[in-house]
Structure 1
């Protein structure tokens, strides 16, 4: 009983067997009743036929003729007068006393059934009145032995038994096939989920059908593929993190050993201490980014929204970053059409904008320009950061928001990136209920678009002052 196919088979068999049994009994009873009804109708017709003859000539010769006709048939006839006396009978040993006693009620001219209980009685019987004028002068009783009906029913029972056995065997065969076919994909799904529970996500489930089982199979396959992808991403992520941590730690350890073991000049000490400080800061930023991502993944990252004046917000951004842009001779322009306000976390939005502008600063050269524009489009604030820098290739563009993905891998350390900045930017924008999109062409610059729409009654609502 532990196998699903066996349980399904038993349920189907019991259900179908019950239905078939009910139908068989119903059909058997209907056929039996129909057959007896036919016999009674035939018996009544013969009695009415004899009655018609006797109404024309009600004499001994006619009575003898009627009796003679039935003596060679499988039925019997008894003719009585209106007082119940037997005038003629095709069989002298017939006991019709019980039938005569039932003549207390009037008999219709077309006759009626005297006895129809073929299962318990020896005969079935009908009666037809013999009238002369408006007076009933006698009755014709037609009787038929129920042995023939019982024999017919026995043959019918044998046929039904054979049909029932064949139906059961065919039903069992079909149920076994169907239950196994139904249980097979479920068993495959069970094996697949057991493998997944052990950490093996390399499962393959062929879609079995276009029904709910097929949908379940596709859902499990999709889950396995996603988990396999997550497992692979986690493996690559941990490998990249190990590499990112190892590099600054190697620098710090190496230059610390030099400072500890050698007698160096003050200039060399300052140089090596500068490198140690730079790598320590790099390590600190990397760890901070990792903590931020961990909080975002756990939904424990707190976004404390307040109403921000966009004009004032970007004026402060410009004041902080203008010196760095001027030093590299890159033109920074911020355009805010009106004094928009937005419900957002000022520190986190500041982190997003500075990260994007820092990327623009790294990938632009002297003479390039970076334009930040703030507009209201369809009751949503759209922040666009557009630069004329080196751009991003088509093959890299789909992956720039992936964690630890670097566009320029050969110069990544020189540029100081960890590959986590854009991943954090994307998560922070989504945490505000916003969207981020990017367009870029190699050697033609890059454009980031941030859109913040209202997602709740009192949040992210764009207003004008």
Structure 2
């Protein structure tokens, strides 16, 4: 069953259940309310009749003896309401209206049949559920007013029918509204399903953004961003293989060319040695490239490639400078290190790999710096921040978004894997690496790490 039908069916069942429960509740609430209101009216009427009975000077028996008849002093003022007056022994003295519909009643024995007396007694005892009764004590005994339930039920049913009509109309309107809302919710989901089918077919560039509200809109935005990232990753992966094949092919062609020339006797004398030197250099370059590619693959896939330990940041920076000192001297570059605001001096990471990341970043600065390189380390908001800047030309703006991607290199770059490896190492350490340009010129690469605590 389609989702739209499932939602509509569930909403319809829920609506029917709500209306049924509401109908039962309203039935009993209305019935109780009408019965309560009727009892209040009967109580007020019984008080009025009792007051009139108290004003009588002679008891009913003496008045009956004088007049030869028996009368109910006060008759109920509302149609459908009857009264029974009993003495202190529980015997019926009078009923109004009488069975003969006379205002002045004959003695009870002659006026009331045995069947009517039994019915009246059932009403008095409260056994007849077809009547609402109210009792009131009088000087003569007890006054009982009663009215049939049929009148209450007629009023209750009339009100309930009107309420059910209102409920039915509201329910129909709500059901139609639910159809509209369901369509509004389902349409984006159907379109989202189509876009996910494009992702499944690896047509990432064809995925479009679905406009929707609420959680569906958030999911649609996530799917669109995911498709963009997958498209970029797919493009980077293809570019990676192209660049990798190019980077590997260049030294292999040099090695193969010189090796064949030496074998065929093309090179003689000192040229043979020069050819062997080129083969050795290109082999070393090829080995370094393969090693970097292997390390990058391990950083992306293997979990146990890292050895977590506590590292002193000052010692890490000192070793970085010592490793690069020959290169700095050769190029005549001065490296300035400042760690004055470094309060939390330790972090947790793999020492050897983090050292390699620092060497890659600083050696990249050495490649482009004119005279000075600055390494500034400090603690900021509980995190350790290391900034490496130079006085070189800076990073081209079109290269900045892709600087840490594989095989992306500047004008004088080597393999294009150094900064990609640095990013992978820093992120595996739980840190962040960013690149930019200083206002006065020169590149700035910042590394942030959580402190060891």
TM-score, shorter chain, exceeding 0.5: yes
Asked if the contact 1:207/1:217 (under 8 Å) is kept, the reply is: yes
- RMSD value over aligned CA atoms? 4.4
Give the secondary structure class of the aligned counterpart of 1:144.
Answer: strand
Partner of residue 249, structure 1: 252
The worse-fitting range, judged by mean Cα deviation, of 94-103 and 239-248 is: 94-103
Change (3 A) 1:168 1:116: farther
Change (3 A) 1:268 1:442: farther
Query: Are positions 1:317 and 2:323 aligned together?
Result: yes
Partner of residue 36, structure 2: 37
Change (3 A) 1:295 1:87: closer
Distance in 1 of aligned mates of 2:92 and 2:383: 111
Asked if the contact 2:324/2:359 (under 8 Å) is kept, the reply is: no
Query: Are positions 1:152 and 2:146 aligned together?
Result: no
Query: Are positions 1:369 and 2:375 aligned together?
Result: no
Partner of residue 331, structure 1: 332
Query: Are positions 1:426 and 2:423 aligned together?
Result: yes
Give the secondary structure class of the aligned counterpart of 1:230.
Answer: helix
Asked if the contact 2:357/2:422 (under 8 Å) is kept, the reply is: yes
Query: Are positions 1:96 and 2:117 aligned together?
Result: yes
Map 1:383-462; keep pairs closer than 5 Å: 387-408=390-411, 415=412, 417-431=414-428, 436=433, 438=435, 440=437, 445-446=442-443, 448=445, 455-457=451-453
Deviations 1:215-256 (A, max 9, x none): 333333332332222222222222222222233333344444
Deviations 1:69-120 (A, max 9, x none): 66994344455555525446522467133544887xxxxxxxxxx6496xx4
Query: Are positions 1:17 and 2:16 aligned together?
Result: yes
Map 1:340-351; keep pairs closer than 5 Å: 347-348=352-353, 351=356
Asked if the contact 1:296/1:427 (under 8 Å) is kept, the reply is: yes
Asked if the contact 2:391/2:443 (under 8 Å) is kept, the reply is: yes
Asked if the contact 1:391/1:442 (under 8 Å) is kept, the reply is: no
Deviations 1:405-439 (A, max 9, x none): 1222xxxxxx5611112222333344556665555
Give the secondary structure class of the aligned counterpart of 1:407.
Answer: coil
**Deviation for aligned residue 1:290:** 0.8
Change (3 A) 1:41 1:96: farther
Asked if the contact 2:385/2:447 (under 8 Å) is kept, the reply is: yes
Distance in 1 of aligned mates of 2:351 and 2:132: 103
**Unaligned segments of structure 2, at least 5 residues:** 101-112
**Deviation for aligned residue 1:396:** 3.0
**Deviation for aligned residue 1:125:** 3.9
Q: Which of 199, 219, 224 matches 1:221?
A: 224
Distance in 2 of aligned mates of 1:52 and 1:372: 110
Asked if the contact 2:82/2:95 (under 8 Å) is kept, the reply is: no
Change (3 A) 1:79 1:455: closer
Change (3 A) 1:243 1:151: same
Partner of residue 461, structure 1: none
Map 1:3-152; keep pairs closer than 5 Å: 3-57=2-56, 58=60, 59=63, 73-79=79-85, 81-82=87-88, 84-87=91-94, 89=96, 90-92=98-100, 95-97=116-118, 99-100=120-121, 115=126, 120-121=129-130, 123-131=131-139, 136=140, 140-152=143-155
TM-score (norm 1): 0.71
**Unaligned segments of structure 1, at least 5 residues:** 104-113, 409-414, 458-465
Query: Are positions 1:284 and 2:284 aligned together?
Result: no
Change (3 A) 1:224 1:381: closer
Distance in 2 of aligned mates of 1:309 and 1:183: 60
Deviations 1:175-207 (A, max 9, x none): 333334344444444444443334333433434
Distance in 2 of aligned mates of 1:166 and 1:241: 71
Query: Are positions 1:176 and 2:179 aligned together?
Result: yes
Give the secondary structure class of the aligned counterpart of 2:116.
Answer: coil
**Deviation for aligned residue 1:294:** 0.8
**Deviation for aligned residue 1:172:** 2.6
Change (3 A) 1:96 1:176: farther
Map 1:155-304; keep pairs closer than 5 Å: 155-201=158-204, 202-210=206-214, 212-261=215-264, 263-298=266-301, 299-303=303-307
